Amino acid sequence: MLRVQSELLSALQSTLDKLLTEAGLEANIQAQFESPKVAAHGDLAITSAMQLSKTLKQNPRALGETMKAALEATPAFAKWAEPLEIAGPGFINVRLKPAAKQTTVTDILQSQAAYGLQASTGERLLVEFVSANPTGPLHVGHGRQAALGDAICNLFATQGISVYREFYYNDAGVQIQTLVNSVQLRAIGVKPGDPLWPTDPADPASKAFYNGEYIADIARDYLASGKSVDDTEAIRTFAVAYLRHEQDLDLAAFSVKFDNFYLESSLYTSGRVDAAVAKLIAAGKTYEQDGALWLKSTDYGDDKDRVMRKSNPETPGASIYTYFVPDVAYHIAKWERGFTRVINIQGTDHHGTIARVRAGLQAAGVGIPAGYPDYVLHTMVRVMKDGEEVKISKRAGSYVTLRDLIEWTSADAVRFFLLSRKPDTEYTFDVDLAVKKNNDNPVFYVQYAHARICSILRTFEEGGGQVVSLTRVDLSPLTSPAAQSLMLILAKYPAMLTEAAKGFAPHDVTFYLRDLASSYHSYYDAERILVDDVPTKLARLALVAATAQVLKNGLAILGVSAPDKM
């Protein structure tokens, strides 16, 4: 129905331009349709009469009547729309003819997986997500981020944008020393609960240890390698490599792939951190105070200036950079690699770094625009199982891992559930619901709609029919309210993708798929598909085949499978 809407929109634009030019005014209003809030009011709504009434000094309802007559006289509205209706102060309600909605079925069957995809724009986009410290298994929060990042990448790809997926490994700093300390203690036979294992909450050093059983696994494998327990650099290299491999397995189980893995440590070894700091100093955007180097981040809207470099109390005469400084260097590198648009997907605990990173990028004076990069922040996830909250995992020691969640349910369920809410809203993952095979389980509900259609199409083919031939059938029998409703929802898919990409909102896809599945189930209950009348049967088969295709396309955006049988 894209062609139909394009023709109608063009006719509306011409009508508006003519009204303005006849009044001696410049044509400067953009034609657009809105979706009526009440389905009974029609398929599309035009509100231009209210927008133009003051400009043209006319009563909006009277102007609406003028527009109605002008639109009905155009070939596009005569061909595709029923007689228009005026409502309220000047709304124009548009009801599409069945033939207009039927074009959607043909569009889908001809486009298949390409339905809803936009032409290439030439734009390149880098999306950084997951970016977990290589210090432990991926937890459910990382899982939410992985699902979000992958789906957002898929959404932007539908809009003709070339998307590059990047994982940033924080393999430098305090957390890596924490890992080394923990593995070294386990390697010499000390475990959590032993007198030598630090547990004093008042002692900051006590926090520098990880208690999960995965630490014991690393220590065991490290000892098997024959290396010395006193060689902390060897422990660091081994443990980081071990956990990077484990995280790779987690990502593989979740079917998430990256184009590049960027190491924080490389920012130091390549001199990028020092170079970024030098740029900020040369630009006059820093100052020394209290033995520390500060960034004038308040010049760029931050609530206070931020420390960039401070003395290292453990090494007299040495200094360390604060957390956001390598981030500034990293984003300068992104810009220099040609990524003029970047999206970072992170937990809400990173909210405080946004202003200082953006301030540092502005202050560096390398041409990066304000507001770079974009951020999508997500909350953590609570997990309920057997009616109780699950807080710990034997594998991790203090949190539920992504692998746990996949093993308890399925990768499909985890993906769909974690994407079913806005990123910044709290979410409770109900394991018991995720394994149910009924309509209460949203992913089952959507997948079952697809499998149900596939069963019908198999029966058709087993009787000698060919699904590929459905692109050429006469669709005129599709006139019932249930069929019209289903086709209208199918027609909304391309616009839904565009709006979801603009809003970084893959949850919109989950809502759409549930609505589409519901409309299909209602249609199936209202009309038998495999009827004796051949033209009617073929038209209905074409409609449900198009529905299956859109269900499959939408699930693919989420990284969820579309099973043929269930």
Domain with CATH 1.10.730.10 in the chain: 439-558
CB 294 within 8 A of CB 305: yes
- pLDDT of the residue at 396: 61
Class of domain 129-257+379-435: alpha beta
Q: Is the pLDDT assigned to residue 177 strictly greater than 70? A: yes
- Distance between CA atoms of residues 221 and 296, nearest Å: 47
Tokens of 70: 């002008």
What pTM, to 2 d.p., does this model score? Answer: 0.90
Q: Which residues of 499-534 are buried (b: 16+ CB within 10 A; e: fewer)?
A: ebbeebbbbbbbebbbebbebbeebbeebebeeeee
- pLDDT of the residue at 84: 95
CB 124 within 8 A of CB 337: no
Counted residue by residue, the chain has a size of 566
- With tokens 């990524």, the residue in question is 339
Q: Is the pLDDT assigned to residue 312 strictly greater than 70? A: no
Domain with CATH 3.40.50.620 in the chain: 129-257+379-435
Question: For residue 317, what pLDDT band results from cuts at 50, 70 and 90?
Answer: very low
Question: For residue 37, what pLDDT band results from cuts at 50, 70 and 90?
Answer: confident
Class of domain 2-96: alpha beta
- pLDDT of the residue at 394: 60
Of 26-40, 180-194, 445-459, 545-559, the range with the lowest mean pLDDT is: 26-40
Question: For residue 39, what pLDDT band results from cuts at 50, 70 and 90?
Answer: confident
Tokens of 225: 């390698």
Q: What is the mean pLDDT of residues 341-349?
A: 95
Q: What is the mean pLDDT of residues 212-233?
A: 94
Residue-by-residue DSSP string for 428-490: EEEHHHHT--STTSHHHHHHHHHHHHHHHHHHHHHTT--GGGGGGS--TT--SHHHHHHHHHH
CB 376 within 8 A of CB 422: no
CB 531 within 8 A of CB 537: yes
Question: For residue 226, what pLDDT band results from cuts at 50, 70 and 90?
Answer: very high
Q: What is the pLDDT of residues 367-391, one digit of tens each?
A: 999 999 999 999 999 999 999 999 7
- pLDDT of the residue at 527: 96
- pLDDT of the residue at 123: 96
CB 377 within 8 A of CB 346: yes
- pLDDT of the residue at 202: 54
Residue-by-residue DSSP string for 97-148: -HHHHHHHHHHHHHHGGGTTPPPP---EEEEE-----TTS--BHHHHHHHHH
Q: What is the mean pLDDT of residues 211-232?
A: 94
- Give the residue, 208 or 238, on which the prediction is more confident: 238
Q: What is the pLDDT of residues 513-558, one digit of tens each?
A: 999 999 999 999 999 999 999 999 999 999 999 999 999 999 999 9
Q: Is the pLDDT assigned to residue 203 strictly greater than 70? A: no
Contacts of 379 (CB under 8 A, 6+ apart): 347, 348, 423, 424, 425, 426, 427
Tell me if residue 44 falls in helix, strand or coil: strand
Q: What is the pLDDT of residues 109-153, one digit of tens each?
A: 999 999 999 999 999 999 999 999 899 889 999 999 999 999 999
Q: Is the pLDDT assigned to residue 313 strictly greater than 70? A: no
Q: What is the mean pLDDT of residues 396-406?
A: 85
Q: Which amino acid is at 431?
A: V
- pLDDT of the residue at 197: 82
Domain with CATH 3.30.1360.70 in the chain: 2-96
- pLDDT of the residue at 215: 94
- Distance between CA atoms of residues 292 and 314, nearest Å: 16
Distances (CA, A) of 124 to 163, 338, 370, 511, 556: 6, 8, 18, 28, 21
Q: What is the pLDDT of residues 65-88, one digit of tens each?
A: 999 999 999 999 999 999 999 998
Percentage of the chain exceeding pLDDT 70:
96
Q: Using CA atoms of 252, 257, 260, 264 in order, give the dihedral in degrees to the nearest 10.
A: -50
Q: What is the pLDDT of residues 472-521, one digit of tens each?
A: 999 999 999 999 999 999 999 999 999 999 999 999 999 999 999 999 99
The rounded mean pLDDT for the chain is 92
- Fold category of 439-558 in CATH: Isoleucyl-tRNA Synthetase; Domain 1 (1.10.730)
The residue ranges of DSSP E strands in 290-380, in sequence order, are: 292-295, 306-311, 319-321, 341-347, 374-378
